[in-house]
């Protein structure tokens, strides 16, 4: 029987929540200082309609802060009018250049504002934990670090030399199954084993990364047992319902499905617009390293060296840490260092 556990790691500038499935990371939630409450999944708001696209049944809604959100309205009902106030709920968070998607609750009065906050990180984690307990402390820090590393990875092992690669594009999420050197004389059996393993691992890894939309899984080998693979996929992606839909396995050996987008992908939070780990992500990792050194030696002077963008991004979180450990931390910018090349030392 599968077991899910929840972990919460709180650090200066950031809180990370993790759900594990049988000990492996399945979901990663990242909250950072400066996140806008009105843009969070489940927030209830008053918004102001700023424009209406009648051809596509869309209204563009100002929700107070952050990008303009989008409301799909029912053409059979009176359409929202430009300038009117509406009560809405965030049903999908903003991602990339797309604003949050809203659900219309009814008419409203007044300026855009938050009426009810989204569920807290603790509440979100408790929903997935089998025992509803949330583990904290050192075990949560280690689990969150491992989950973040896995979320950023492209390759994921399937066993016996096989692997899975997950890469997101603007159009879809491509999942490639590779048998590696594990085929040999039993290549057909190895391919079948890898494909069934890939369906389960892909479902978990996509939830971990927070990726949805159109997903194409390029299966390995030929002559697939399509009914059995579809049954396995429906079971593996059941936690993502409602809204998951499957297409038949194509003659080219591709299993296609769609998974609803809801929360902003963890992968989007951790990376920049070029898909690289962002300066802020590295900065927060460095601050956690400083926090660890400060706890290990309560009187030591601490020096951290990093690239200028990372030093700049670390300033707000480091200010929070200094409130606890004092002014014994010095940050030095070294333009010769790569973004992820930081060093923390005690003296």
Dump pLDDT digits (tens) for 189-214: 889 999 999 999 999 999 999 999 99
What are 213-236's pLDDT values in tens digits? 999 999 998 888 999 999 999 999
182 — pLDDT class (breaks 50, 70, 90): low
156 — pLDDT class (breaks 50, 70, 90): very high
184 — pLDDT class (breaks 50, 70, 90): low
Is the pLDDT reported for residue 146 higher than 90? yes
- Mean pLDDT computed over every residue of the chain: 94
Is the pLDDT reported for residue 187 higher than 90? no
Q: What proportion of the chain, given as a percentage, has pLDDT over 70?
A: 99
186 — pLDDT class (breaks 50, 70, 90): confident
Mean pLDDT of 67-79: 89
What does the pLDDT read at residue 111? 96
For the beta sheet containing 162-168, the strands, ordered from the edge strand earlier in sequence to the opposite edge, are 155-159, 162-168, 173-178, 213-218, 254-259, 245-246
| Distance of alpha carbon 50 from alpha carbon 82, whole angstroms | 5
Is the pLDDT reported for residue 2 higher than 90? no
CA dihedral (101, 21, 244, 254) in degrees, to 10, reads 120
What does the pLDDT read at residue 323? 92
| Distance of alpha carbon 317 from alpha carbon 280, whole angstroms | 10
326 — pLDDT class (breaks 50, 70, 90): confident
Closest CA to 45 of 94, 117, 100: 117
Q: What proportion of the chain, given as a percentage, has pLDDT over 90?
A: 84
Neighbours of 133 (CB within 10 A): 10
Mean pLDDT of 100-124: 96
| Distance of alpha carbon 83 from alpha carbon 61, whole angstroms | 9
Mean pLDDT of 132-142: 95
Is the pLDDT reported for residue 181 higher than 80? no
What are 230-274's pLDDT values in tens digits? 999 999 999 999 999 999 999 999 999 999 999 999 999 999 989
| Distance of alpha carbon 345 from alpha carbon 302, whole angstroms | 6
Is the whole-model pTM more than 0.85? yes
Mean pLDDT of 14-40: 97
* Residue 13 burial by Cβ neighbours in a 10 Å radius (0-12, 13-18, 19+): buried
| Distance of alpha carbon 8 from alpha carbon 147, whole angstroms | 12
What does the pLDDT read at residue 185? 54
* Residue 154 burial by Cβ neighbours in a 10 Å radius (0-12, 13-18, 19+): exposed
Which pair of tokens denotes residue 66?
């952050």
What are 310-321's pLDDT values in tens digits? 999 999 999 999
Is the pLDDT reported for residue 183 higher than 70? no
297 — pLDDT class (breaks 50, 70, 90): confident
């Amino acid at each position: 029987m599968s077991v899910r556990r929840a972990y919460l790691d709180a650090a200066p500038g950031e809180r990370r929540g993790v759900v594990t499935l049988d000990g492996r990371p399945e979901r990663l939630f990242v909250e950072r200082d400066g996140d806008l409450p009105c843009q969070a999944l489940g927030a209830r708001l008053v918004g102001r309609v700023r424009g209406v696209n009648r051809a596509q049944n869309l209204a563009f809604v100002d929700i107070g802060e952050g990008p303009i959100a989008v409301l799909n309205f029912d053409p059979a009902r009176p359409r929202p009018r430009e300038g009117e106030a509406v009560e809405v709920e965030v049903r999908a968070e903003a991602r990339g250049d797309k604003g949050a998607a809203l659900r219309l609750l009814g008419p409203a009065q007044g300026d855009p504002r938050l009426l009810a906050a989204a569920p807290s990180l603790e509440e979100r984690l408790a929903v997935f934990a089998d025992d509803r307990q949330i583990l904290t402390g050192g075990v949560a820090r280690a689990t969150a670090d491992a989950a973040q590393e896995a979320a950023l990875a492209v390759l994921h092992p399937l066993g016996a030399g096989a692997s899975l690669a997950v890469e997101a594009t603007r159009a879809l999420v491509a999942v490639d199954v590779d048998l590696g050197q594990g085929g040999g004389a039993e290549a057909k059996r190895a391919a079948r084993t890898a494909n069934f393993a890939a369906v389960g691992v892909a479902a978990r890894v996509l939830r971990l990364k927070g990726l949805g939309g159109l997903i194409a899984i390029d299966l390995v080998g030929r002559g697939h047992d399509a009914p059995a693979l579809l049954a396995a996929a429906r079971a593996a992606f059941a936690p993502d319902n409602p809204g998951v839909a499957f297409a038949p396995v194509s003659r080219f050996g591709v299993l296609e499905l769609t998974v609803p987008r809801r929360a902003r992908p963890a992968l989007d939070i951790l990376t920049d617009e070029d898909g690289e780990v962002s300066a802020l992500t590295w900065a927060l990792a460095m601050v956690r390293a400083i926090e660890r050194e400060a706890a290990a030696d309560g009187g030591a002077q601490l020096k951290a060296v990093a690239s200028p963008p990372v030093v700049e991004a670390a300033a707000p979180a480091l200010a929070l840490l200094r409130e606890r450990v004092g002014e014994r931390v010095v940050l030095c910018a070294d333009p010769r260092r790569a973004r992820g090349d930081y060093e923390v030392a005690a003296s």
